[in-house]
């Protein structure tokens, strides 16, 4: 499993896991009213706060079932994902149903949460919001993204995802290779305003 998260925020991950565990049915399945890191604001808007986990696709599905008119998600403090496969799965689903994302001036998203954000049908942000990127890792002691040469098949999962949510081939490759070279897996690079504009992160 490839991991894209800020290791400096590991404590948030463990808190998230504990929260999810406390909101499951006795048989271990996710309850219909369990939205995990999502919280409804009204019929069309929700907020997201926390680490994306393997349960996030089911949590989002629960949210969408209860609020079928959902259109917008405000991302608050979202440091990344501990399951890239689940993250790309739910992000594609969000793109398909036309979810829009917004970042407040106090919002901070990084790693896998950035992958989710760039899949938004519309992506807005306030000045002061932070967008962080870094390399993915196979886990402690395992190869990182930059261990593999440009063009290696291991990179395609992410490049193809970016293409599936509207990037051109060049845009997808340019952004992906920028992210994995911007910072090692245990660190994070906070994108500059120029970088955010260059890679078309915001979409009105």
Identify whether 163 is part of a domain: no
Band (pLDDT 50/70/90 cuts) for residue 8 is very low
Identify whether 203 is part of a domain: no
Domain count, the chain: 1
Percentage of the chain modeled with pLDDT above 90:
82
Band (pLDDT 50/70/90 cuts) for residue 4 is low
Q: Which pLDDT score, from 0 to 100, does residue 28 have?
A: 57
Identify whether 120 is part of a domain: yes
Identify whether 146 is part of a domain: no
Look up the CATH number of the domain holding residue 103.
Answer: 3.90.226
The per-residue pLDDT for range 18-39, each reduced to its tens digit, is: 333 334 444 458 999 999 999 9
The per-residue pLDDT for range 173-198, each reduced to its tens digit, is: 999 999 999 999 999 999 999 999 99
Identify whether 154 is part of a domain: no
Print the domain residue range for 66.
4-132+188-198
The angle formed by the CA atoms of residues 188, 189 and 194, to the nearest 5 degrees, is: 160
Residues listed for the chain: 204
Identify whether 172 is part of a domain: no
Identify whether 104 is part of a domain: yes
Contact 128, 106 (CB under 8 A): yes
Identify whether 30 is part of a domain: yes
3-state SS record for the chain: CCEEECHHHHHHHHHHHHHHHCCECCCCCECCCCCCCEEECCCCEEEECCCECCCHHHHHHHHHHHCCCCCEEEEEEECEECCHHHHHHHHHHHHHCCCEEEEEEEEEEECHHHHHHCCCCCEEECCCCEEEECCCECCCCCCEHHHCCCCCHHHHHHHHHHHHCCCCHHHHHHHHHHHHHHCCCCCCEECCHHHHHHCCCCEC
The per-residue pLDDT for range 133-172, each reduced to its tens digit, is: 999 988 788 889 999 999 999 999 999 999 999 999 999 9
State the average pLDDT for the chain. Answer: 89
Band (pLDDT 50/70/90 cuts) for residue 68 is very high
């Amino acid at each position: 499993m490839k991991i894209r998260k800020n290791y400096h925020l590991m404590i948030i991950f463990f808190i998230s896991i504990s929260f999810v565990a406390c909101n499951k049915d006795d048989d271990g399945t996710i309850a219909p009213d369990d939205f995990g890191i999502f919280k409804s604001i009204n019929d069309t808007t929700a907020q997201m706060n926390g680490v994306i986990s393997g349960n996030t696709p089911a949590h989002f599905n629960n949210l969408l079932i209860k609020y079928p008119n959902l259109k917008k998600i405000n991302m608050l403090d979202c440091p990344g994902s501990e399951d890239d496969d689940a993250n790309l799965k739910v992000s594609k689903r969000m793109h398909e149903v036309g979810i829009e994302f917004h970042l407040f001036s106090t919002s901070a998203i990084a790693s896998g949460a950035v992958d989710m954000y760039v899949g938004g049908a519309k992506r807005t942000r306030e000045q002061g919001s932070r967008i962080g990127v870094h390399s993915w890792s196979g886990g402690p002691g395992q190869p990182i993204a930059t261990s593999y040469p440009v063009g290696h098949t291991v990179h395609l999962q992410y490049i193809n995802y970016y293409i599936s949510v509207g990037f051109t081939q060049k845009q997808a490759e340019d952004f992906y290779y920028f992210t994995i070279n911007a910072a090692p897996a245990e660190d994070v690079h906070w994108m500059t305003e120029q970088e955010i504009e260059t890679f078309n992160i915001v979409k009105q």
